[in-house]
Each structure stands twice: as structure tokens, then as C-alpha cells.
Amino acid sequence: MEFSFKKNARLMGRFDLSEKETPKCGWVNSALFLTFRGTAINMIAEDSEGNDYIEIVLDGIARNWTNLKRGTHEYILEQGLPDAVHTLEIQKRTSIFIGSIKFHGFSLPAGGEFLAPPAHKNLRLEYFGDSITNGSGNGHPHEVPEATGLDDGYMSYVGISARMLDAEYHTMAMCGIGVLQDARGNINGLPVHFSGTLGKDTQPWDFSKYVANGVIINLGQNDYSNPIDDNKYMEAYIGFIKDILEQYPEAYVFCCVGTMNNKNMNSVNKIVAYFNQNGFKKVFMVDLGLIHPEVEGWGGAFHPGLQTHYRMGLDLARFISEKTGWELLKRPIIATEC
């Protein structure tokens, strides 16, 4: 059966749809969802650099990941499956600086059938951040500062908290960036990328496609890794929240602090107070704590590892649930006979 993105795929994240049947993504956590009947499934995809990794989630279980080669290639995603209906999620694990992916299509063995894709989730979240939000360094030891294949956006605090809340989630994150300045002290903030599909100077994003119910911002680690003017930081941060609320006027906003440093906590508390005092009671500060290396260990280059991301994701999801009333997913309970 011939595959059609329009009929058979659901996209999550900011995709460039200039070519409707070859959607292109760059941001971490960008995902594509399918439903099919068959015993195997192949994918044709084009990677810009040959450094991107994707998570392969079959029937709700993250089963595998693979490195995409540079250029256009066909990949065997799953084979030897029961001849039944399956759901498939392909999620970009790596950051926008690693590369972009253009999907060309999927195919099934003879007798297979593509069905309507899984439905959208009712709750919509959007995350903004830096390398921590990308999941950079979370799956490899501190001694290995660069190991792209072990950077895992799927198992970052973003993916964990969003799935705990049973939500759709978009992520815009860039390594080294801040609200005002980057890790090298240059004026380089994420807000200038907010309106572009794949960042600054790219196709304008159509905000009507995705109206977030909740927005999570975790920016400041890099701003405060160099000398900074607190007032300029707060001015840039307040302006960013105002831009966000202009697009999502009913959204909750959660301003996170941590986990590589918390030098911006005082400023973030003032930012939250500014909005609360001006009638925006749905803006909160979330303390994600610092890395506890004796217990959680380090990820690559002093980044949080998977254990820290799990703790951050769980804490964030619980905080959001308490403030909004949005229900958390429950851990499965399997009854056994004595």
C-alpha cells in the first residue's frame, strides 16, 4: 500500500512543510507517528550531516535507536513482527546543531496496510532551553565530552515530564544559548528563534498550528556562566514571556532554574513576581535543583546524566500537575495470583 504523509502520518514538533510529502525537521524531540498493519516496516530518510540519531518507538515501547547516514537512504526499522496493527513513533534524539532530517516515505511488505495515524494528545506543551533541554551528555560518562550517539532527547527531562503528563510536546533548544547571552558571553539568545520554523531566518512558523497549554523555559545556565547585567537578563526574559503569551494567552508558564547552576534564581523569582503582580497568576518558578554527583553521577562535560534527567522530569511533571490539575499517568500495576 502506498504511503502518504498527508493521510498516514501525524507530526509533532516544528516541521518545514514547504514540500508537503517530504517534511523536514531539525529540533530535538521532533517526531512522526504512524499506524500500520504488517510484519515489518522500512523508512526512507535524508539526513543533512550523517550525525543525527532517531528513537524507534514501537507500540509505545522505545525499542531501539539508529544513526542516520548522510544523504538519502532506506532503513529497516522493524521486522519479524506479529501480523497485527502496530503504532510507530520516530523521534529525533539529537539537537538542531547536529543536523536536519527530511522524511521521504515508509514501506511495508506485501499485504501490509497503512492506517490512520494515532490521534493527537489533548494537552500541548512547549519547552525552551539549552543543552540540558537537548539531553546533551545525558547518556555518556563525564570523561567523554562529545558522544552524539548517546545524547538522548527522548529520555531527557523534557520527554519524561511530557509523557508523564500524557502530552504533545514541542522543543526548541540550542546548546550553549541563553536568554540574553551564550556560554561565551556573546549576545546570543533563544528568543530571536521563536518565530522561525527551524529558527532565526527560516520559514515563519504558523502559530495557529499549535497553541500550547503550558510553556516550560529553562534558560540561564549559560547567561550566568559569564559576568552579566541582571537587569538586562530580566528585561530579555520578560520580553520573551510576553512574546510567548501573545501567541498563547491562556498558557501556564513555568520558569525553571537548574541543574548545572542556579545563579539566575534570584532574577527568575523577580521575573515571576513581575508577572504575578501584573495579573498573570499562571507564571511560576520551578527549582529543578542541582546535580547530586555522589548519587546521580555526571553526564558528559558536567551535564546531567540520565538519572538526573529522570528526577528532573518527575519533579517537573509533579509540579505542573499540582499547579494546573492536569493528571499524571499512573505507574502500571500488574496483578498476580498467589
pLDDT confidence tier of residue 142, bands split at 50, 70 and 90: confident
pLDDT of residue 110: 96
Q: Which three cell numbers stand for residue 178?
A: 541563553
Q: Please name the residues in contact with 34: beta carbons below 8 A apart, sequence gap of 6 or more.
A: 8, 9, 10, 41, 87, 88, 106, 114, 117
pLDDT of residue 40: 98
pLDDT of residue 20: 82
pLDDT of residue 277: 98
pLDDT confidence tier of residue 335, bands split at 50, 70 and 90: low
Per residue in 124-134, pLDDT (tens digit) is: 999 999 999 99
Q: Does residue 1 register a pLDDT over 80?
A: no
pLDDT of residue 337: 53
pLDDT confidence tier of residue 43, bands split at 50, 70 and 90: very high
Q: Does residue 28 register a pLDDT over 80?
A: yes
Q: Answer whether 33's CB lies under 8 Å from 140's CB.
A: no
Q: Does residue 276 register a pLDDT over 90?
A: yes
Task: Give me the mean pLDDT over the 271-298 stretch.
Answer: 97
pLDDT of residue 10: 97
- Each domain of the chain, given as residue ranges in start order, spans 5-115, 123-324
pLDDT of residue 338: 45
Q: Does residue 4 register a pLDDT over 80?
A: yes
Peptide bond connecting 72 to the previous residue in cis, omega within 30 degrees of 0: no
Task: Give me the mean pLDDT over the 239-255 stretch.
Answer: 98
Q: Does residue 336 register a pLDDT over 90?
A: no
Instruction: Give the percent of the chain with pLDDT over 70.
Output: 99
Task: Give me the mean pLDDT over the 54-59 stretch.
Answer: 98
Per residue in 254-265, pLDDT (tens digit) is: 999 999 999 999
Q: Does residue 313 register a pLDDT over 90?
A: yes
The CATH superfamily label for domain 5-115 reads: Galactose-binding domain-like (2.60.120.260)
pLDDT confidence tier of residue 143, bands split at 50, 70 and 90: confident
Q: Give me the chain's average pLDDT, please.
A: 96
Q: Is the dihedral of CA 261, 277, 208, 329 positive or negative?
A: positive
Strand, helix or coil at 290? coil
Fold matches, 5-115 and 123-324:
no
- State the Cα–Cα distance between residues 247 and 210, nearest whole angstrom: 10
Per residue in 85-97, pLDDT (tens digit) is: 999 999 999 999 9
Q: State the CATH class of domain 123-324.
A: alpha beta
Per residue in 203-238, pLDDT (tens digit) is: 999 999 999 999 999 999 999 999 999 999 999 999
pLDDT of residue 332: 81
By CB neighbour count within 10 A (0-12 exposed, 13-18 middle, 19+ buried), where does 106 fall? Answer: buried
Which among 169, 173, 204 has a CA at the least distance from the CA of 189? Answer: 173
Task: Give me the mean pLDDT over the 241-267 stretch.
Answer: 98
pLDDT of residue 333: 81
- State the Cα–Cα distance between residues 189 and 321, nearest whole angstrom: 29
